[in-house]
Amino acid sequence: MEVYKTKAELALFSTNAKKKKETVGFVPTMGALHDGHMSLIRKSVSENNYTVCSIFVNPTQFNNKKDFERYPITIDEDLKKLETEKCDVVFLPSVNEMYPDPDNTQYDLGGIDKPMEGVFRPGHFNGMAMIVLKLFAAANADVAYFGEKDFQQLAIIKYITKRYNVPIKIVGCSTLRDEDGLAMSSRNLLLNADQRKNALAISQTLFGTKQKVNKDSVENVKAWAKNFISQTSNLKLEYFEIVNSETLESILDWSDAENINACVAAYAGEVRLIDNVKLK
């Protein structure tokens, strides 16, 4: 397994692979890798000649400085896991490598950045789009793999790939959960035992919502879900929405869209967690 720290090294690797008509799969991450990430690596390894994983905690997508400073860093463990899964290349750039100059680019995100996360994390998705497009340019991969846990992020990545004519296929992969139902997340490492136990109310709410589709009104189901989470000690709800899976607009009736997702964000202590499930 090779470890590259410059865009030039990564670009040369991809160029040589393409000269040999070999495919490159790409898994961008912010590290603190868990089995959800590993499932993306395994899928890429099974579908491509080479797999590249990037580890970069991107400062431009954090609107909360404390959140950025608290983000878990586990590089040594990450590299061991990636080598075990037969990842070919790890891209480990510095902030100066990715941002040699200040970048104030504002991207067209199609409006799907405005609801949910966009309300509570202004600027987050523009910063995310900024680094994703920089990484795509450096990796020059054929396929990129992302987890569906970051539902809104995945929708925006699909949008900007088309909007900015990036020649890469985007593959969304199912959310992996621990046995108790909690969605796997790097931020779970920051939870103490009580916080982790309380955080189970997030997935329990989503699964409960799925059971209520077409059995009660959307308005009543949302009220039930918000109440369920709010009654859990030390769990602070930020939002709970039931949305059109394509437009991310809130729905008023179950017949408003063919594909519908329930999405939630909540704080367990100071740790912000997000999750979603497909309702239909």
Please identify every residue annotated as catalytic: 37
- Exposure string of 42-55, with b = 16+ CB inside 10 Å and e = fewer, is bbbbeebebbbbbb
State both tokens at 207. Answer: 């699964």
Distance CA 91, CA 75 (A): 12
Distance CA 38, CA 63 (A): 27
- Amino acid, single-letter form, for residue 13: F
* Cβ(125)–Cβ(158) below 8 Å: no
SS3 state at 81: helix
Distance CA 26, CA 3 (A): 14
Q: Which of 160, 157, 166 is nearest to 139 (CA)?
A: 166
SS3 state at 131: helix
* Cβ(142)–Cβ(15) below 8 Å: no
SS3 state at 210: helix
Task: Return the bridge partners of 275, or none.
Answer: 264
* Cβ(264)–Cβ(240) below 8 Å: yes
